[in-house]
Chain A
Amino acid sequence: MTNIILPLSYLIGSITFILGLKMLSHPDSARRGNLVAAAGMTIAILATIFLYTDEAGNRLGNYGWIFGGLIIGSIVGTLAAKKVQMTAMPEMVSLFNGMGGACAMLISIIEFKHHTTGISPELYEEAGTTIFTIIPGTLFITIILGMVIGSVSFAGSIIAWGKLNGKIKDFSFNGQHIINLLLLGVITVLTIYIVAARPAITITLFYTVLALSLVYGILFVFPIGGADMPVVISLLNSFTGVAAAFGGFLYNNPVMLTGGILVGSAGTILTILMCKAMNRSLKNVLIGSFGGKKVSSGASGTKEQGNYKEISLNDTAVLMAYAQKVMIIPGYGLAVAQAQHACHELEKLLNDKGVEVFYGIHPVAGRMPGHMNVLLAEADVPYEKLLEMEDANDQMGSVNVVMILGANDVVNPAAKDDPGSPIYGMPILEVEKAEHVIVNKRSMKPGYAGIENELFFRPKTSMLFGDAKKVLQDLVSELKQM
């Protein structure tokens, strides 16, 4: 009987992954979907530990090490995931993704070491090329591909993580794309060469490919602008899925295979969906018109910027208090300042004064799609106050005051009327249909994508400088005195 439990557990695991992904794509079942997948994973892991046998029928050993690793990983993982602030979640996902990639990379390294132990240069002299042919071709390819994809994903995710939390700045140099392509070419050629020819320096070449893959992962993410990180993380996510699937090939393990490939294909589709939400193509993101330097392309770069006008806190408070309808447009600045609670307080206060307050949510405001919804939900902002972009734009005509809190690119009119702009074609919140536009920013610096925003210089717009949290708290106290 025991010999059917392991395959059965793997089958259950595969089914829960499919169900989990399916449920995760509907709002009502999403949370349960996550738990279902987690349960399936637990079953598959436990069954592997206690029931896995190799071809000779040997059970796994080293239980101390296995459980030690599981316990350390679980404690650290849970703490990190629980402690992380809402705003830093995108980074966290990227970091966890990198861990998965590193895991796949290590598995390949160990397997390679295992299959080549005892092969010394002297032995090679004696036996010639045949010595490395003890590794079957399919196995060898699987090991190398798992390592290459795993390490690209690992290195790339770490860079993406660093970029999101501001530790790593955008960096690109001329001809970077050519160098990246060259690197990829060298990795491919070396891989084919090792597998086909099995030269005396097979071991050295293997580790060279490892090093080159890590470098490629770094260079691949480096030139991509910070605003595009969600797309990149999603892409790297599907890479790790594929790396996990190679592990499935390696161990003839169906659950690793289904899990990995599912994530690989679903992740790719998700990446494309994310690009669509921003109305851009994946190629555009990867080759990067956002890539740091070429930002002021087209008309916007040459146009006179003119003057902007500032507005005082007091005037803002008056304007809002006597408005009928106020629309708040949150962006990453709100998340950075952790101002969601202050924002909710302002909204309640205005409500008490008989002002209708809504939030206009752009699908890609913040660092990740849905970022703003999550952030405002944390401050207990009622669900029905959050308007999706289309609804918000429909209502914009009757809005008296639009308050933009740390959002920039999602309200940039260049997306509508400047074909030279890198964000041209992206749907935006059309704030200019409203009576007044108040923009809260810390300074006049351009947004994360590095694009000038003409909105700030338009006659309807007034600037209210300062940290979002501080400004909102001051506004609240101003309003209380009125």
Chain B
Amino acid sequence: MNFITQLFTDPATYRLLTIVVLSVFLGIEVISRVPSVLHTPLMSGANAIHGVVIIGAIIVMGQAPADDYLALILGFLAVILGTLNVVGGFVVTDRMLEMFDKKKKKRS
């Protein structure tokens, strides 16, 4: 119960909770009507956006003690994986959407 109370009483946590709730609605609103041809690129784009987890990896890496090799290696792995998610995700999405661009130019 302690945990639940803290969510509402601690100002910092409560602020985060508010962000969560608002973001949930925002996420639903933002993509409520999408043509089915865009499902795949949209999923891929969203995939790149959750790569924001890389920021956590950078913080963990930057705070690891210089002599704790296990933490350094795990953090290093986390940074690589997070970067793969971000960079690969955005590049793949761009490649998918490039095809749509080409199509549009042909049409006009």
The interface residues of chain A lying within 8 Å CB-to-CB of B94 are 31, 34-35
Decide if A337 is an interface residue (CB 8 Å cutoff): no
The interface residues of chain B lying within 8 Å CB-to-CB of A58 are 63
The interface residues of chain A lying within 8 Å CB-to-CB of B51 are 41, 96, 100, 103, 244
In chain B, what residue has the closest Cβ to A254?
B19
Does the CB pair A257–B19 fall under 8 Å?
A: yes
In chain B, what residue has the closest Cβ to A237?
B47
Knowing A241-B46, A383-B104 touch, does A363 contact B90 (C-beta < 8 A)?
no
What's the Cα separation between A263 and B31 when bound, in Å? 10
Minimum CB–CB distance for B106 against chain A, Å: 6
Minimum CB–CB distance for B97 against chain A, Å: 4
Which A residues, 341 to 378, have Cβ-Cβ distances below 8 Å to chain B? 363-364, 368-371, 373-374, 377-378
What's the Cα separation between A243 and B64 when bound, in Å? 21
- What are 12 A-B interface contacts by the 8 Å CB criterion? A20-B45, A38-B90, A41-B86, A66-B62, A69-B79, A77-B87, A81-B92, A100-B81, A230-B40, A263-B27, A263-B47, A267-B27
Knowing A24-B42, A77-B86, A141-B3 touch, does A261 contact B19 (C-beta < 8 A)?
yes
Knowing A137-B3, A251-B59, A273-B34 touch, does A45 contact B54 (C-beta < 8 A)?
yes
What's the Cα separation between A25 and B35 when bound, in Å? 7
8 Å CB contact of A369 from B37, B79, B104: B37
Minimum CB–CB distance for A204 against chain B, Å: 17
The interface residues of chain A lying within 8 Å CB-to-CB of B41 are 24, 30, 34, 370
Tell me if A's interface is mostly helix, strand, loop or mixed: helix
Decide if A265 is an interface residue (CB 8 Å cutoff): yes
Does the CB pair B34–A107 fall under 8 Å?
A: no
The digit string for A37-79, where 1 denotes a CB below 8 A from any CB of B, is 1100100110011001010001111110110111011101110
The interface residues of chain A lying within 8 Å CB-to-CB of B40 are 89-90, 93, 230, 368-371, 374
Q: How many residues of A contact B (CB 8 A)?
A: 119
8 Å CB contact of B62 from A60, A72, A73, A255: A60
Most buried by B among A24, A234, A237, A270: A24
The 9 lowest CB-CB distance pairs between A and B, nearest first, are A73-B83, A60-B62, A69-B79, A265-B27, A77-B88, A259-B52, A77-B87, A81-B91, A247-B56
In chain B, what residue has the closest Cβ to A10?
B55
The interface residues of chain B lying within 8 Å CB-to-CB of A21 are 27, 30-31, 42, 45-46, 49
Which B residues, 85 to 108, have Cβ-Cβ distances below 8 Å to chain A? 85-104, 106-107
Minimum CB–CB distance for A285 against chain B, Å: 15
Minimum CB–CB distance for B41 against chain A, Å: 6
Decide if A217 is an interface residue (CB 8 Å cutoff): no
The digit string for A404-427, where 1 denotes a CB below 8 A from any CB of B, is 000000000000000000000000
Minimum CB–CB distance for A380 against chain B, Å: 7
8 Å CB contact of B56 from A61, A78, A137, A253: A253
The digit string for B7-47, where 1 denotes a CB below 8 A from any CB of A, is 10000110010011001111110111111111111111111
Minimum CB–CB distance for B78 against chain A, Å: 4
17 additional contacts (CB under 8 A) given A78-B87, A89-B92, A252-B16: A35-B94, A60-B59, A63-B62, A65-B76, A68-B76, A73-B87, A77-B87, A78-B88, A93-B40, A100-B50, A110-B75, A137-B3, A248-B56, A266-B30, A370-B40, A373-B103, A383-B104
Decide if A147 is an interface residue (CB 8 Å cutoff): no
| Chain B, interface residues (CB within 8 Å), range | 35 or more
Does the CB pair B88–A104 fall under 8 Å?
A: no
The interface residues of chain A lying within 8 Å CB-to-CB of B34 are 25, 270, 273
The interface residues of chain A lying within 8 Å CB-to-CB of B81 are 73, 99-100, 102-103, 106
Does the CB pair B36–A370 fall under 8 Å?
A: yes
What's the Cα separation between A103 and B81 when bound, in Å? 6
Knowing A106-B57, A269-B31 touch, does A31 contact B100 (C-beta < 8 A)?
yes
Does the CB pair A248–B16 fall under 8 Å?
A: yes
Does the CB pair B6–A100 fall under 8 Å?
A: no
Does the CB pair B91–A78 fall under 8 Å?
A: yes
In chain B, what residue has the closest Cβ to A54?
B63
Does the CB pair B53–A253 fall under 8 Å?
A: no
Does the CB pair A24–B53 fall under 8 Å?
A: no
What's the Cα separation between A164 and B102 when bound, in Å? 27
The interface residues of chain B lying within 8 Å CB-to-CB of A90 are 40
The interface residues of chain B lying within 8 Å CB-to-CB of A18 are 26, 30
Most buried by B among A113, A244, A256, A364: A244
The interface residues of chain B lying within 8 Å CB-to-CB of A368 are 39-40, 43
In chain B, what residue has the closest Cβ to A13?
B52
The interface residues of chain A lying within 8 Å CB-to-CB of B53 are 100, 103-104, 107, 240, 243-244, 247, 256, 260
Does the CB pair A80–B55 fall under 8 Å?
A: no
The digit string for B55-83, where 1 denotes a CB below 8 A from any CB of A, is 11111111110100011101111111111
